[in-house]
Amino acid sequence: MDDDYLPIDAYGVIGNDDRCALVGRNGSIDWCCFPHLESPSVFAAILDSEDGGRFAVRPVEAYESSHEYVDRTNVLETTFETDGGTVTVTDFMPVAGAGAVRDAERDDDRNEGESRDERFQQALFRKIEGVSGAVELSVVFEPRFDYARAPTALERDDAGDVVAREQRRDAGDATEDGTRPEAPEDDRLRDHEPGSLHLHSGVDLAVDEAAAVATTTITVEEGETRWFNLQYGAPNRRPADEYHALLDETIDYWRAWLDSCEESATDLFEFDEVWRDVLVRSALVLKLLIHDETGSIPAAPTTSLPEEIGGELNWDYRYNWIRDAKFTIQALHSVGQSTEARRYFEWFREIGHETPRDLKPLYGLHGETDLEEEYLDHLSGYRGSTPIRIGNAAAAQEQLDIYGTIVQGIYETIRYENGLSDQDWDSIHALADYVCEHWDERDKSIWEFRDLHEHFVHSKLLCWVALDRAIRVAEEYDRDGPLDRWEREREAVREAIEERGYSDERESFVQFFGADEALDATALLIPIYDFLPADDERVQNTIDTILEELTTDDGLVYRFADSPARPREPGGFVLCSCWLVDALVLSGRLDEANDLFEQLLDHTSSLGLLSEMIHAVDGTFLGNFPQAFSHIGLLNSATYLASASDTDDFPPEELSTGVAAPLFRRHGS
């Protein structure tokens, strides 16, 4: 069965504003959801190679393939070489505003008031171009609506296009083959209008209605071009010259956006070529994942790619975690995108205005809070890794770190805006009061353990951050608040962390109060949040212990070790490697930081992409992909290294012009 699945790093990602698709180096689109990134999938072969559904275009005969992005874009090219010739498949999703709508007077196949750009937002294009010789290609169009739960019917319309329609199935109805589960009447994620896909190609695809598959073979010769336009919803057929124009406009859009980054964040993109290419890709991935309507950013565009092959730690990451906000805002500022940072902060700020007890650790991309977890037992899972989950039960957890995240985010961002609003202060006031009342409780930690409830050091650290920044905001903006109480509780949190969270025997801060052995990479954040100076002996001891016990020879850092939750994970967590780089920079240990960063770059895919985790032995990618947190960490570590190259004063108070100051540095520290 493993032979049926590509390695995760053999995929590229394309997308626009609120949609993404994974395209394999074998020419198969194995993951795509419509109409939104968090909607049910229409292709999910990456989670079930037999029944998940795919859209594949690849040579019939033996081939060698490679892929790369069109320079400085999110447009992906896959090249197939056979004995008979070479062909390239170009995949992209148009971006809103990528180009002027030149055919506004045309209204055929278009809803009233809807532009070409808006309609093509729900589309995916595949351009097949003959490079040399002649190549016979197999085309398999196999949509499976609603995570392959809903029956799918294929037919031809009057124009000869293939139309796939999702068939509504009432609770209790039998499926076609009797193997798929019944849909419960209250199934939240089935509560949507049945979808449809329209495939316009000019290719005569043979339609098998029973299996909902359209297949054929086509021969593409040198200089010949074929187009596939896959449109969700209503059809949107256009002449081939418009598709060429749309591709050009999409390429121009990505390059223009990147040009604006480089103009604003000159220092960050002036590294040598190897570093610069990876940072450019990280910036493009981050932009790709930004939800254009709300400004929110998912942790990843996929669900249930496993943290361990064959394991059960498979989660849905198509949501926005509050804890990611502080790192995300820093990364957006670091790449010179103040507009995106401001929009993301506004989304984050509105959540922060909620009553503290109502705050959730994560939210849907449209602000949803009902993220009840559901199992898709009919899918076999990536390389047999089950269960497949949609929704995420962590949304209902108590995670004490989120309150410090919100206060920190407001504290750092208001200095780039028009000062502190009354509503912002009311939020900070309420959050600080809530932390005073609850900081000494147990929680589930940043890692969202489902079987471990403890006094986690990282959670206490963020409670200290909430109180510390609230006090500073009050002092800097002359606001009234119960400062005596906040200062008293801040000192109590500090004493608890220093007395109960540090182990002289382990010579390190530990995972939770009273832990005898458990280490946790979140201890690296202690100097980054300025809880202790980087040259404090305990901080340096912790860094050295993590280097010795949590770091592999090639620079991968495990999240934790010797924990009651899990003794050791199979791979290093990319973001933790970035934290180690940051802590080393702040310590003035620049050679070590530089070496570790270069080792981390070696773990990116051939396209410059990163997953959540990297297997410690064989280097394979693990977890959901591409992982925003990994690329955010890479950008932030580059920011620290860029700042270090410009000054001998560590840690820097401000970076050079155009690059944001490190987010977690306090004013005047």
What 3-state class would DSSP assign to 30? strand
What is the model's pLDDT at position 17?
A: 84
| Closest listed residue to residue 328, CA positions, set 405, 391, 407 | 405
What are phi and psi for residue 413, nearest 5 degrees? Answer: -80, -30
* 608/604 Cα distance (integer angstroms): 5
The three-point CA angle 594-636-279 to 5° equals 75
Q: Per DSSP, what are the bridge partners of residue 14?
A: 21
What 3-state class would DSSP assign to 551? strand
The three-point CA angle 501-507-510 to 5° equals 30
C-alpha 346: how far from chain center:
19
E-strand ranges in 501-584 read 502-503, 508-509, 519-520, 560-561, 571-573
What does each C-alpha distance from 553 to 506, 556, 557, 558, 616 come to in angstroms? 21, 7, 10, 12, 9
pLDDT digits (tens, 9 = 90+) for 461-480: 999 999 999 999 999 999 99
Place of tokens 């980087």: 534
What 3-state class would DSSP assign to 443? strand
Contact 322, 362 (CB under 8 A): yes
* 335/258 Cα distance (integer angstroms): 9
What are phi and psi for residue 69, nearest 5 degrees? Answer: -85, 145
Residues 6+ apart with CB under 8 A from 273: none
Contact 344, 331 (CB under 8 A): no
The CB density around residue 313, as the number of other CB atoms within 10 Å, is: 15
Using a pLDDT cut of 70, give the percent of the chain over it. 88
Contact 100, 94 (CB under 8 A): no
Gyration radius (Cα) of the chain, Å: 25
Instruction: Give pTM, 2 decimals.
Output: 0.91
The CB density around residue 263, as the number of other CB atoms within 10 Å, is: 11
The CATH number for 265-644, chosen from 1.50.10.10, 3.30.1160.10, 1.10.10.60, 3.60.20.10, is 1.50.10.10
The CATH number for 2-257, chosen from 2.70.98, 1.10.8, 3.40.720, 2.60.40, is 2.70.98
Residues 6+ apart with CB under 8 A from 168: 150, 194
What 3-state class would DSSP assign to 316? strand
What is the model's pLDDT at position 193?
A: 73
pLDDT < 70 positions in the chain: 1-3, 97-119, 169-192, 210, 266, 416-418, 645-669
What is the model's pLDDT at position 642?
A: 85
What is the model's pLDDT at position 531?
A: 97
| Closest listed residue to residue 243, CA positions, set 224, 230, 258, 257 | 230
Structure tokens at 215: 């297949």
Residues 6+ apart with CB under 8 A from 46: 5, 6, 11, 22, 30, 31, 52, 302, 305, 382
Structure tokens at 143: 């949509």
E-strand ranges in 70-146 read 76-81, 85-92, 123-142
- Per-domain residue ranges for the chain? 2-257, 265-644
DSSP string over 583-622: HHHHTT-HHHHHHHHHHHHTTS-TTS---SEEETTT--EE
The CB density around residue 655, as the number of other CB atoms within 10 Å, is: 22
Place of tokens 């050009």: 248
pLDDT digits (tens, 9 = 90+) for 420-434: 889 999 999 999 999
Q: What crossing angle do the helices spanning 574-586 and 537-549 adopt, rounded to 10°?
A: 140
